[in-house]
With several copies, the nearest count.
Chain A
Amino acid sequence: MSSQTIQVRFFASLREQLGHGEVEISTDSVETIADVWQRSTDGKQMPVNTLMAINMEYVEASHPVQPGDEVAFFPPVTGG
């Protein structure tokens, strides 16, 4: 059931390094954004300066997550 999962998105160089732009993870024992990273990357080290968002708002790694959330990880932005 999608309400028991979290959608995880990766962008730019992070997407290329991990080999995918989007995964769905189960929420079992996933409480924070940091946990989402661990689960969705098989425990890889998070690059320094990685930015994080939950439901398209910037948050810190300690921010809690809930089933149904969309979480995103991406490198420093370079627009404009």
Chain B
Amino acid sequence: MLVELRPEPFEPYHELASYQESIAAGQYGATAVFVGSMREFNEGDQVQKMWLEYYPGMTEKYLESIASEAMSKWDLLDVLIIHRTGEVSPSDSIVLVAVWSGHRAAAFEASRYLMEELKSRAPFWKKEQLDHKSRWVEHNTPAK
């Protein structure tokens, strides 16, 4: 299980391939992955840059708690969460969540659970830099 905050750009599929080497091959049958990326527009505006603020200490603690919760709720072999911080550019990866399990149901459910918990409760805040002003994103879209 690994939770990491990254102040620099990261390549999610490289991270995944690399982290996966630490998991016993032949043990997992299902891997579910979610990658959130920065789009170059939001609510009708071009976004130039984004600032990702977080709460040092609490953010890591919160992400570790949901990763542990997922491990105890489902029969998972491993969980990886990487989240970007600081200044982010369009098309950069913001978040990577991956879970490894024996079967697909657990993998799908746990990855979605982690993303919903992260989106609704993990202490991160986005400030968007538009052409002529900046603004805080006010809330995340609900799970629906």
Contact = CB atoms under 8 A, between A and B. Distances in A.
B139 A76 contact: yes
B61 interface: yes
Interface stretch (B13-21, B70-78, B124-132): B124-132
Contact of B125 (A53, A56, A77): A77
Interface string A20-62: 0000000000000000000000000000010001001110000
A79 B55 contact: no
B55 A75 contact: no
Interface in B111-144: 115, 118-127, 136-140
**Residue among B83, B119, B122, B123 with most chain A CB within 10 A:** B123
Contacts of B125: 11-13, 74-75, 77-79
Size bracket, chain B contacts: 20 to 34
Interface residues of A, number: 18
Contact of B122 (A11, A49, A75, A77): A77
Contacts of B79: none
A56 B57 contact: yes
Interface of A: 9, 11-13, 16, 49, 53, 56-58, 72, 74-80
